[in-house]
Amino acid sequence: MSDPIIHMENIKKHFGNVIALNGVTFDVRAGECHCLLGDNGAGKSTFIKTMSGVHKPTEGTISFEGRELSFDSPRDAMEAGIATVFQDLAMIPLMSVTRNFFMGREPTKGWGPFKRFDTEKANATTMEEMRKMGINLRAPDQAVGTLSGGERQTVAIARAVHFGAKVLILDEPTSALGVRQTSNVLATIDRVRNQGIGVVFISHNVRHALAVGDRFTVLNRGQTLGTAKKGEIDASELQDMMAGGQEMAQLEGSLGGTV
Amino acid sequence: MSDPIIHMENIKKHFGNVIALNGVTFDVRAGECHCLLGDNGAGKSTFIKTMSGVHKPTEGTISFEGRELSFDSPRDAMEAGIATVFQDLAMIPLMSVTRNFFMGREPTKGWGPFKRFDTEKANATTMEEMRKMGINLRAPDQAVGTLSGGERQTVAIARAVHFGAKVLILDEPTSALGVRQTSNVLATIDRVRNQGIGVVFISHNVRHALAVGDRFTVLNRGQTLGTAKKGEIDASELQDMMAGGQEMAQLEGSLGGTV
Amino acid sequence: QDIVVVAHGQANDPFWSVVKNGVAKAGEDTGANVEFRSPETFDMVQMSQLIDAAVNQEPDGLVVSIPDADALGPSIQRAVEAGIPVISMNSGSDVAHELGAHLHVGQSEYDAGKAAGQELAEMGGTKAICVNQEVGNVSLDQRCEGFAEGFGNPVDVVPTQNDPTEVQSKVRAALESDPDVDTVLGLGASLVGEPAVAAAEALGRDDLLIASFDLSAGFLEAIADGKAAFAIDQQQFLQGYLPVTFLALNAQYGLMPGGDVPSGPNLITQDKAAQVIELSAQGIR
Amino acid sequence: MNTDATQMADERIKSESFATRLMRRPELGAIGGVILVTIFFLITADRTMFTLSGIMNFLTPAAQLGILGIAAAMLMIGGEFDLSIGSMVAFTGLIFGVLAVNMELPLILAIPLTMACAAAMGALNGYIVIRTGLPSFIVTLAFLFILRGATLVGLKLFSGGSTQLRGVRSAVEGDFLTPIFSGDAFGGLFRWLAELGVVEKFGSGMPKVPGIPVEILWFIGFALLATYILLKTPSGNWIFASGGDSNAAENSGVPVKRVKISLFMLTACAAALVAVITVIDAGSTDARRGFMKEFEAIITAVIGGCLLTGGYGSAIGAFFGAIIFGMVTIGLTYTNFDQDWFQVFLGGMLLLAVIFNNVIRKRVTGER
Amino acid sequence: MNTDATQMADERIKSESFATRLMRRPELGAIGGVILVTIFFLITADRTMFTLSGIMNFLTPAAQLGILGIAAAMLMIGGEFDLSIGSMVAFTGLIFGVLAVNMELPLILAIPLTMACAAAMGALNGYIVIRTGLPSFIVTLAFLFILRGATLVGLKLFSGGSTQLRGVRSAVEGDFLTPIFSGDAFGGLFRWLAELGVVEKFGSGMPKVPGIPVEILWFIGFALLATYILLKTPSGNWIFASGGDSNAAENSGVPVKRVKISLFMLTACAAALVAVITVIDAGSTDARRGFMKEFEAIITAVIGGCLLTGGYGSAIGAFFGAIIFGMVTIGLTYTNFDQDWFQVFLGGMLLLAVIFNNVIRKRVTGER
Ligand SMILES: Nc1ncnc2c1ncn2[C@@H]1O[C@H](COP(=O)(O)OP(=O)(O)OP(=O)(O)O)[C@@H](O)[C@H]1O
Ligand SMILES: Nc1ncnc2c1ncn2[C@@H]1O[C@H](COP(=O)(O)OP(=O)(O)OP(=O)(O)O)[C@@H](O)[C@H]1O
Ligand SMILES: [Mg+2]
Ligand SMILES: [Mg+2]
């Protein structure tokens, strides 16, 4: 298999006296979907934030395409070709959908001092990309703050997919999505993976993970619990690992495997 | 079956020129779990917000325990016995977990001018309720803003359950939860329902809905698509209705029923 | 010798910066260690606290201005009781002795306003505006009151803020809306006098009588050119210089003049203006 | 793997020193600034600054400012501003003066009436903000002008044309409430201490410090009360919640409107208290009383760690913020710096004090 | 059920009138205030207020304030404050005066140097805010004091003891850049119009309005430029994003730090521009220039619809805000009201204008 695009070695991250990550090693290769799984508070979001330049790791090294480097800002990571859907979506509620979509990477027309934001093109692109994900926006200039939870999440995903160059990181992208939108997102992951992009996919839904994942890494309380390839592990094993090895609630029996 | 606790008749809600709800009728009875399902942007959140006093309906009537009334504020609804977990959780990031947990309904000790916030009791209750949901907090005075997405959602759920008197409304409560926490929440819904509380449960996950729901109402583009009783409908039918009758993405076949 | 001056006007106010220059000069000449202090705005409460702070250091002399005897009285009396010789300056001539000050150097704002009013009425003014850039500052209010008294004809007070452009526009507005106004009195030369001259020029009104309290080089030039009538000078340099000198002499030899020193008013008209310009530009007049 | 996770102990938490835990509290951060400023003046200022009388001297303005600052801090924590504080001091000063001098009411009536009037104005402010949804900045700004102007008009009316209303001291003299709002407390104690030689005396034998100015006691009392309310009562929780996210608070059942209106009333009453104290102390009131105090109050709150966006801050922080501000403004007069440089120093000291706070806190708590 | 949902048409959207769509724009809301104020003065003020010369008269201070207000609005949209604007006017006025008078530099050098100096100060402000993470309110407040004090010290130094630096007019007379920064534009046109009798004349035959004061042109130009930047360029998008949620913006790849520092530089340069214009116009500069202008600039921005929390507002709104403010301050002089009531009116008019804005907008757009 190809060399990893990103390789994160023994990453530790402390917030004041809180140890969020305590030595996590992880990599993602071109054309694969690597699922990052784990209990709530395991450190998944913190980990992908160090990967996309939001946090600086307290310890540990990041190599991108073989070279060791450190991202100073999310913009650096983005320019290197990493697109991320954050769990909190990183959207500005007061701004329109289009402006959020292109935030930081606006298309322009004209030249020199007359270079300006190409609103028509941006609007058209936004509507189109959203439609692909199964959402029909009323108007591209609607404020993001007035969108429903799922609509908002779809904007963030469509944006990341649109700009994803080498690595696409998705932190629980389907949590607020309806069934149709979810299946669109999973199909999209499949599509971009086939285009040779590396995907990091975080989810609490075992089925979603198994449907698109090539490898599965489970985090627990800030540490790696292990990595498995597709086919090496089945749903219930994975589910047990994700629960941190602890018992499910009593309802378990009656809900059998429904979670 | 018993009389409905809340009956909402032909609710309409317009935001400026946007029609979010266009005549929705819905009720919830004591001791049942009524699932509200539907596509992204169908109007589910808007609907339960009118139910919990956040929005005033543009048209339509609300009857609570047989009497027609209108809630002027969420506080009114709360005092009537309605507890809600909003999709955006309604938490203050800068405040501690305990303070968020008891926000608006602080336990006090002492009397008269010396009545004060009973911090010890509040802290103990918070830790205990969170533990019941499967989350071990580090400290009850940690700011909510530093919690992980799932931890935060759990605080909101635990709070609503703790204070839920007659009706408990949950807007996609399990979206960010891990498998263990999800099964705890579903078990909790089951438990409170058996105590005679009416539960309104919104979810995009057909399995979760089928696991705990007694009745299922599907919204589509601001209108009711119909209500079904448990056993009258199966998973794939429900899934089709939730998708608004539109086709799933092409991946559908290969992901077969995984969503 | 330590001598402290506590004034109610700020160091960046053109009028008070001249007082402060006088204080500094006196310090140089007598060899005394002098300090000039003032609240950041016209604030009697803070000023009384500054006096208290000065008294705590037990200087050899204290110079104060007294725009509000009620507010400052207790602090000044405390100084007197502590045995610190006090001289008042600028405002407070009426209460200085009562409070235990040795003497007062300055002019009564009210009297100065009155003198200006009489002069302008004599020059033919029939209707006037008094442009006050800091309404509520009691000494400025007194100037306007005195002016109204001396002028005898109708006087409107035009309140403005501390911005020359705004002052110019307001003066213009006042002149345009009431063409009968033929006299303008400003309470500060650079802040009101100069913009008033500019406003008159913009309106093409060369019949206007413009006078102003205090001096600024620009306004003096306007007087010299005949564009403005006169400036009312109270020679505030003396208000800074004399009390410090007196107190220094008092500390050294126990000398003290026997009565108040009136430092003004002193009308600067066209014939005198030219000589004063240079001194004004140096912050002496 | 930790199978023991149901227990409280957590391996993912480093132990924390006492200092760290202390510095984590926003209010205590401001102490760093106080210490820095103290050291600065110990080096540069005349030694009389830190005698008992010197300390009283800079604490008096700090106390007056602090009472406003603490109220402003509570309002800011609640997510709103009040720019009319300063004008309110002037306006309530006028009301009080008129009641005491022109109407000759005893303090037991004049003070409650003044407070009631202030509370009504505050409630009006709050009501307009809540009702229109306009930012409180602009609404209270309008009241800044309106009250300032009304004060001028009122003064002229009641004083017969002057902008100063005098004679308050003689009007309230002998009133049994006067010692509570003016002058110095514990006078007897201090005279006794002076006789013993513990407290410094002037040459004339008078003690240099006649007592503790009552405003300092009010200041301390108010700071304690505000802290108690903010940290120990349900209302405090509501204030933080309303400021942190008024929507979320409203949705969680906090009566946000009532909280905000009460805070506006509190701020106005704090202004009235300062007005009463200063008017009795000064014996007069004029049209420029309280000028710019609204900004100083906000500065005080911000130095004390309040966020302008609301939902964060402390009353104790504002307490120390007021002391820093008072020390810097009065302290510079004890030094030999030329008055011309005053503002440069004031700005520099403020900046240094807050940066120092910040650095210390970050260093100690290990934030990035 | 709608199976047609892939089309753009949406049955869930009511048709919207043109007026509604217009009023939805925040900038246009402020027009309501302008109209209200105009009507008020048309009724109450002397008719000379709305002659050509009267209009120029109130537009001149409005323009100077507006240049600051638009810059402040952009900074506020970007999520920060600058309280040092007013002091910056005084400070850059001093710099410019010294360069032009004492150093005798031609304007072509003096103005760029002044701007560079302002930009450097702005960048320093921004750098400290970004670096320390302190609220910009407190950092720029420190600079409010520092720059104000520095101006006084500098003035005394360069003028030899006075607080006024003079002789600017003669120093710049004849410089080819002078007409761009001072005096009136289109003088020829106006003289011609006067001859035709379209424009009023004085007895001497000179037109009553010699031209359009250049600051008005700068004001309009700057408003257009700022609007263009905010709405039509990527940088504008970055400004809104930085102010809306700097974390989210940073995470989405917006260079938030660079944006904010640039905005601080812009504000400082706007202050320098106003300083240059007023110093040349007045021929002198003094220590009190720009006093309180920082607050007026913020007021202007807020009247124009900017949110104090950032991320929302418009330059055109600030444009109209400045006009409202200028009209109200100058306009009252044209009326017969007792001028003691000035501040009461100012406050009342401000409040009415913003409430009116708000009511109109809500009514028209159907918000609750
Ligand atoms: N800024 C912070 N300060 C202190 N603690 C933090 C901070 N950010 C995260 N944490 C803590 O680090 C732990 C890991 O958080 P993280 O958000 O990475 O979890 P997660 O795996 O994404 O969980 P979830 O599935 O619920 O989203 C949590 O317990 C959280 O409380
Ligand atoms: N304040 C508002 N202004 C304008 N439109 C709004 C507002 N709030 C909601 N909407 C619109 O109303 C529709 C219904 O939103 P709602 O949040 O109720 O959807 P939902 O069913 O909860 O969706 P999801 O499953 O994604 O949470 C959405 O299309 C949304 O854009
Ligand atoms: Mg997460
Ligand atoms: Mg929803």
Contact call for A221 and D16, based on CB within 8 A: no
Q: In sequence order, what are the residues at sequence separation of 6 or more whose Cβ sits closer than 8 angstroms to the Cβ of residue B87?
A: A149, A176, B45, B171, B172, B202
Q: Which atom of ligand 1 is nearest to the CA of B150?
A: 26
How far is it, in rounded angstroms, from Cα E215 to Cα E58? Answer: 12
* Those residues with Cβ within 8 angstroms of residue C53's Cβ, 6 or more apart along the chain or in another chain: C37, D54, D57, D58, D330, D333, D334
pLDDT of residue A221: 86
For residue D244, pLDDT over 50 is answered with yes
Which pLDDT belongs to residue E3? 36
Residue D313 Cα, gap to closest chain A Cα (Å): 20
Mean pLDDT of E4-17: 58
A119 vs C137, residue with greater confidence? A119
- Cβ contact, residue pair D60, C49, below 8 Å: yes
Q: Assign a CATH topology to domain E27-363.
A: ABC transporter involved in vitamin B12 uptake, BtuC (1.10.3470)
Buried b (16+ CB within 10 A) or exposed e, C109-133: bbbbbbbbbbbbbeeebeebbbbbb
Q: Cα separation of A93 and E277, whole Å?
A: 40
**Average pLDDT of chain D?**
85
Neighbouring-strand partners of residue E326: none
Which has the closest alpha carbon to D326: C45, C77, C13, C82? C45
Distance between C254 CA and the closest CA of chain D, angstroms: 18
**pLDDT at residue B248, rounded to an integer:** 53
Of residues B113 and D65, which shows the higher confidence score?
D65
Res A256: pLDDT: 46
Task: Label each residue of chain C as H, E or C.
Answer: CEEEEECCCCCCCHHHHHHHHHHHHHHHHHCCEEEEECCCCCCHHHHHHHHHHHHHCCCCEEEEECCCHHHHHHHHHHHHHCCCCEEEEECCCCCHHHHCCCCEEECCHHHHHHHHHHHHHHCCCCCEEEEECCCCCHHHHHHHHHHHHHHCCCEEEEECCCCHHHHHHHHHHHHHHCCCCCEEEECCHHHHHHHHHHHHHHHCCCCCEEEEECCCHHHHHHHHCCCCCEEEECCHHHHHHHHHHHHHHHHHHCCCCCCCEECCCEEECHHHHHHHHHHHHCCCC
Output Rg (C-alpha) for chain D, integer angstroms: 22
Q: What local confidence, expressed as pLDDT, does residue A28 receive?
A: 93
Cβ B238 vs Cβ B206: under 8 Å? yes
Question: Would you say the CB of residue B244 lies under 6 angstroms from ligand 2?
Answer: no
E147 to chain D: closest CA residue: D344
Sign of the dihedral through C-alpha A125, A130, A131, A132:
positive
Interface of E with D in 74-113 (CB under 8 A): 81
Q: What's the whole-number mean pLDDT along residues C266-276?
A: 86
Local confidence band at A85 (pLDDT 50, 70, 90 cut-offs): very high
CB–CB contact B84 D234 (8 Å): no
Residue D239 confidence (pLDDT) = 95
Q: How far is D204 from D189, CA to CA, in rounded Å?
A: 19
**Integer Cα distance of B155 and B161 in angstroms:** 10
pLDDT at residue B257, rounded to an integer: 46
For chain C, the residues whose C-beta falls within 8 A of a C-beta of chain D are: 11, 20, 35-38, 40-46, 48-50, 52-54, 56-58, 68, 70-71, 73-74, 81-83, 134-138, 141, 145
Least confident span in D52-66, D262-276, D290-304, D330-344 = D330-344
Whether residues D240 and B95 touch (CB distance < 8 A) is answered with yes
Q: What pLDDT was estimated at residue D26?
A: 60
Instruction: Say which amino acid occupies E356.
Output: F
At D27 the pLDDT is: 61
The rounded Å distance from CA B146 to ligand 1 centre is 6
C12-C271-C170 Cα angle (round to 5): 45
pLDDT band at B149 (very low <50, low <70, confident <90, very high): confident
Tell me the average pLDDT across E206-223: 88
Inter-chain CB proximity D58 and C35 less than 8 Å:
no
pLDDT above 60 for A251: no
Contact A143 CB / ligand 2 (< 6 Å): no
How do residues A36-59 score in pLDDT, each as one tens digit?
998 888 999 999 999 999 999 999
Largest CA distance in chain B: 67
Percentage of residues in chain B having pLDDT higher than 90: 35
* C21–E164 C-beta distance less than 8 A: no
Q: Which of residues 134 through 173 in chain A touch B, CB cutoff 8 A?
A: 134-135, 138, 146-151, 154, 172
Q: In chain E, pLDDT over 90 holds for what percent of residues? A: 43
> Most C CBs within 10 Å: which of E214, E339, E345, as the mutation test of the C interface?
E339
Mean pLDDT of the A144-167 span:
88
- The answer to whether E49 touches E331, Cβ cutoff 8 Å, is yes
Residue E184 has pLDDT above 60, yes or no: yes
Q: Is D66 a residue whose pLDDT tops 80?
A: yes
Question: What's the pLDDT score for residue B29?
Answer: 92
Res. D205 pLDDT band, cuts 50 70 90: low
- String of DSSP letters for A131-147: HHTT---S-TTSBGGGS
Average pLDDT on B207-223 reads 90
Whether D6 shows a pLDDT value over 60: the answer reads no
| 3-state SS, one letter per residue, for C232-259 | EECCHHHHHHHHHHHHHHHHHHCCCCCC
Q: Is A119 on the interface with E (CB under 8 A)?
A: yes
- Measure in Å the smallest separation between the Cα of D250 and chain B Cα atoms: 7
Question: Average pLDDT, stretch C80-104?
Answer: 88
pLDDT tens for residues C29-39? 999 999 888 88
Q: How confident is the model at residue E2 (pLDDT cuts 50, 70, 90)?
A: very low
Residue C150 pLDDT = 92
Confidence of residue B8 (pLDDT cuts 50, 70, 90): very high
pLDDT tens per residue across span D105-148: 999 999 999 999 999 999 999 999 999 888 888 899 899 999 99
* pLDDT per residue as tens digits for the range E43-102: 988 888 888 888 988 999 999 999 999 999 999 999 998 999 999 999 999 999 999 999
* Confidence band for D21, pLDDT divided at 50, 70 and 90: low
| Residue D189 host element (H or E) | helix D187-196
ipTM of this complex: 0.89
Q: Is the CB of B87 under 6 A from ligand 2?
A: yes
Q: Looking at chain A, which subunits does it touch, using at least 3 CB pairs closer than 8 Å as the criterion?
A: B, D, E
Of A152, A105, A112, nearest to A130 by C-alpha is A152
DSSP type of residue A3 = P
Predicted local distance difference test score (pLDDT) of residue E54: 87
Q: What is the pLDDT of residues E224-242, one digit of tens each?
A: 999 999 998 999 999 999 9
Q: B27 has which bridge partners? A: B7
Peptide bond into C265 cis (omega under 30): yes
Q: What is the three-class DSSP state of A21?
A: strand
Residues 6+ apart with CB under 8 A from D312: B94, D26, D77, D240, D243, D244, D305, D306
Q: Is the pLDDT of residue E249 over 90?
A: yes
Optimal mutation site among D87, D164, D350, interface C, most CBs of chain C within 10 A:
D164
Give nearest CA residue, ligand 2 atom 17: A148
Between chains, do C41 and D288 touch, taking CB under 8 Å as contact?
yes
Residue E88 confidence (pLDDT): 95
Question: What's the one-letter identity of residue B112?
Answer: G
Ligand 3 mean position to A87 CA, how many Å? 6
What pLDDT, in 10s, does the model give residues E305-340?
Answer: 888 888 888 899 899 999 998 898 888 888 888 888
**Ligand 2 centroid to A152 CA: how many Å?**
10
| pLDDT, tens digit (0-9, with 9 covering 90-100), for D154-165 | 998 998 878 888
User: Which residues from A are below 8 Å from E233, CB to CB?
Assistant: 106, 108, 115-117
Mean pLDDT of C10-15: 82
Q: Mean per-residue pLDDT for D283-290?
A: 87
pLDDT at D188 (0 to 100)? 77
* Residue D2 pLDDT grade (very low, low, confident, very high; cuts 50, 70, 90): very low
Q: What is the pLDDT of residues B11-46, one digit of tens each?
A: 999 887 788 999 999 999 999 999 999 888 899 999
Q: Which ligand is nearest to the CA of A148?
A: 2
Q: Distance from the CA of C88 to the center of ligand 2, in angstroms?
A: 72
Q: Which of D170, D291, D345 to mutate to test the interface with C (most CBs of C within 10 A)?
A: D291
Residues E214 and E63 sit within 8 Å (Cβ to Cβ): no
